[in-house]
Amino acid sequence: MAEKTVEQYYAPPPKLGKWEGFRTFLWNSETHQFLGRTGASWAKILFFYLLFYAALTGYFFAMLAVFYQTIDMRVPKWQLSRSLIGDNPGLGFRPMPPDENVESTLIWYHDSNENYKYWTEYLDKFLEAYRQPAPGEKRVPCNYTTGPEEGRVCDVPIQSFGNCSTESHYQYHRSAPCVFLKLNKIFNWNPAFYNDSDPLPDNMPDDLQNHIMSLKQQNSKEVNTVWVSCEGENPADVENIGPIQYFPGRGFPGYFFPFQNNKGYLSPLVAVWFEHPATGVLINIECKAWAKNIMHDRLERRGSVHFEMMID
Ligand SMILES: *[C@@H]1O[C@H](CO)[C@@H](O)[C@H](O)[C@H]1NC(C)=O
Ligand SMILES: *[C@@H]1O[C@H](CO)[C@@H](O)[C@H](O)[C@H]1NC(C)=O
Ligand SMILES: *[C@@H]1O[C@H](CO)[C@@H](O)[C@H](O)[C@H]1NC(C)=O
């Protein structure tokens, strides 16, 4: 057999001990390789990764910038019936029971001693935003003839809640609690007011119907209001609930709508004062908001809110 000179592409490394092999791998003084690569090779690979990640980061931020171009921080993309929250606003009440029982809607206290403190402190905190405008917020007084100018928001005067004021402990100490109602904000939602000759809905409480009728007779602009009514749910509750007063009025004035997420917007509030509720019994209360385009659905929590009250 003729001897053949084979071109050698690969020379097996010289047999070394384990430790010796490792040390050579760390630093090979013959080839000047560190961890298996020469300095130039390391420089190249580091340079490659530097460029690679720089490009990746740039691409990420470019995509993010494109994405931000398509959204507006103030205006939601999906509005009204196309949005998840829909176009039928819900009603909320404050103060709410402690967090540990989220399902609870029971306002329960003992009017002796300082037992009602939780509820009044809750309301103090809730109304904090209404007290002082944050720097840069522009609140203007509004009325039914003059809404806010572009970019301004209507003031909700804290003094307008009458007997439901901080100073009078929202009447909790007198077994006559105030509960604040608030319509959930829906961007660009406009109420359809009961301001024409159409008959009022049959299920609207009589006192509210009379109130609206007399405003219509006076040709008052106040008809442009989202009205509010609170009632006992069952016959026994109707009996126990006693007289009710609403501050500053019986509803949310129309000039607060539509909500356009202007800086510092305040949701209008209605303070409902239960003047003489029966004590020692649980009272089921349902409050409803009234406009032609508000449907009432208790299960879906649309247009109405339910809570219970018990004063020991
Ligand atoms: C309504 O508000 C505007 C601006 O604040 C004011 O000029 C006007 O007199 C007010 N109208 C009524 C009837 O209060
Ligand atoms: C506030 O409460 C007092 C005492 O019950 C009552 O005399 C007064 O009329 C109430 N104020 C309003 C605005 O209802
Ligand atoms: C009645 O309400 C509608 C909105 O529901 C409003 O556009 C209209 O201006 C109101 N009419 C009067 C006379 O205020």
Q: Residue 214: pLDDT above 80?
A: yes
Ligand 1 interacting residues, C-beta cut-off 6 A: 141, 143, 145-146
Ligand nearest to the CA of 246: 2
Mean pLDDT of the 32-52 span: 91
Burial of residue 78, with CB atoms counted within 10 A of its CB: 0-12 exposed, 13-18 middle, 19 or more buried = exposed
Q: How many angstroms is it from 53 CA to the middle of ligand 2?
A: 71
Burial of residue 42, with CB atoms counted within 10 A of its CB: 0-12 exposed, 13-18 middle, 19 or more buried = middle
Most ligand 1 atoms within 8 A of CB, residue of 143, 144, 219, 220 to mutate: 143
The residue nearest atom 3 of ligand 2, judged by CA position, is: 163
Q: Is the full-model pTM beyond 0.85?
A: no
Q: Where are the domains of the chain?
A: 18-68, 82-311
Structure-token pair, residue 234: 């069952």
pLDDT at 6: 57
Structure-token pair, residue 63: 């995509």
DSSP string, 25-76: HHEETTTTEETTEEHHHHHHHHHHHHHHHHHHHHHHHHHHHHHHHT--SSS-
195 lines ligand 3 (CB under 6 A): yes
Vertex 236: Cα angle to 233 and 108 (nearest 5): 70
Q: How many angstroms is it from 292 CA to the middle of ligand 3?
A: 12
DSSP string, 165-188: STTTGGGGGGT--EEEEEEPP-BT
Instruction: Looking at the CA of residue 275, tell me the nearest atom of ligand 2.
Output: 5
Instruction: Looking at the CA of residue 144, tell me the nearest atom of ligand 1.
Output: 1
Topology classification of domain 82-311: Immunoglobulin-like (2.60.40)
pLDDT digits (tens, 9 = 90+) for 244-271: 999 999 999 999 999 998 888 999 999 9
Report the distance separating Cα 253 and Cα 227, nearest Å.
Answer: 8
Report the distance separating Cα 298 and Cα 68, nearest Å.
Answer: 38
